[in-house]
Amino acid sequence: MTLGRGRPILAFDVGGTDIKSALFDADGRAVEVERTPTPLAGADTPAALARRLAEIGSDLSARYPEVRPQAAGVVVPGIVDPERGIGIYASNLGWRDAPIRELAGSALGLPVHFDHDVRAAAWAEHLLGGARAFDDVVVMVIGTGIAGSLIVDGKLHPAGGYAGEIGHSPVADGPMCPCGARGCLETVASAGAIARRYAELAGVVPDGAREVLAHAAGGDPVAWQVLDGAIDALVLALAQLTAVLAPEAIVIGGGLSRAGDALFEPLRTRLDERLSFHRRPLLLPAELGEDAGLLGAALIARERPDAAA
């Protein structure tokens, strides 16, 4: 995957466990992609993260002196305000209102473009992947949880960092979600919820949601029951998105999306049944896989104007 020609960029996709880093050259090729543990240091995590990013950047510059990055893209999970450059909240990184853009910019000595990991992934899918043909798109990532991002009229719509929280949209009377709300979509329809629910009902811990899908395909009634409930909840959420936002396409990525037709076929059929006059969105698999966030970080850093020094 190449970004096309543009300025060289350092890109970082910061997760709760690892930082994925890449140096993109002027041809848009990643000359190196690497993983480094995320430094978790309690209240000091934002500063420790900034130092780690600077170490990675120095190391890459030493090894590839011919590629001189002109800006960096940094994306993180949680609630992220890209305009103010603030990580408002991230449960697995433990910060609140952390000025990540400023810290990373000082440490790296580069203009930093800061955003949310799933918004960046959605932007990459919009420019390079499954959502290329559309200007009104919802991107959902179904894994341990369910994250989402909105592209409206060809632009990301962060709404101060709070838009796209499809996983924390209520669709049921229960169960309680760790976020504190009740009946969030991700408590019944994430890959994590599917595996957890199967373990509760079957008394056997599956190797992830895909094992539950395999059991369901093989005729296991408990697996089918769990999967059926998850798909119904996803369809309800997709129907609500369709009624309110009417996106042209909904792109679904994350671990569960690799189930392919076993997921997409029942989603399409049941969504169609649930709707009436509504315009059906195309349901498409994400194309860029795990590196979508990293690619998005690079794309964002390439195209957004640097702040005045």
| Residue 96 interacting with a second copy (CB under 8 A) | no
Q: Checking DSSP bridges between strand 30-37 and strand 18-24, what pairing results, if any?
A: antiparallel
Near a second copy in 274-293, by CB under 8 A: 274-279
Per DSSP, the three-state class of 138 is strand
| Residue 160 interacting with a second copy (CB under 8 A) | yes
| Residue 127 interacting with a second copy (CB under 8 A) | no
Q: Check: CB of residue 20 under 8 Å from CB of residue 294.
A: yes
Supply φ then ψ for residue 55, to 5 degrees.
-60, -45
Tell me whether residue 79 or residue 294 sits nearer to a second copy (CB atom).
Answer: 79
Q: Checking DSSP bridges between strand 95-98 and strand 112-116, what pairing results, if any?
A: unpaired
Q: Check: CB of residue 186 under 8 Å from CB of residue 168.
A: yes
Of the candidate residues 37, 42, 180, 218, the single one contacting a second copy (CB under 8 A): 180
Per DSSP, the three-state class of 51 is helix
Q: Check: CB of residue 13 under 8 Å from CB of residue 30.
A: no
- Among 25-33, 58-66, 159-167, 258-266, which window interacts with a second copy (CB under 8 A)? 159-167
Near a second copy in 134-153, by CB under 8 A: 136, 148, 150, 152-153
User: How many CB atoms sit inside 10 A of residue 174's CB?
Assistant: 10
Of the candidate residues 29, 51, 84, 157, the single one contacting a second copy (CB under 8 A): 157
- Among 105-113, 119-127, 163-171, 258-266, which window interacts with a second copy (CB under 8 A)? 163-171
- Interface positions with a second copy (CB under 8 A): 79, 89, 136, 148, 150, 152-153, 155, 157, 159-160, 162-166, 168-171, 177, 179-182, 236, 239-241, 243-248, 274-279
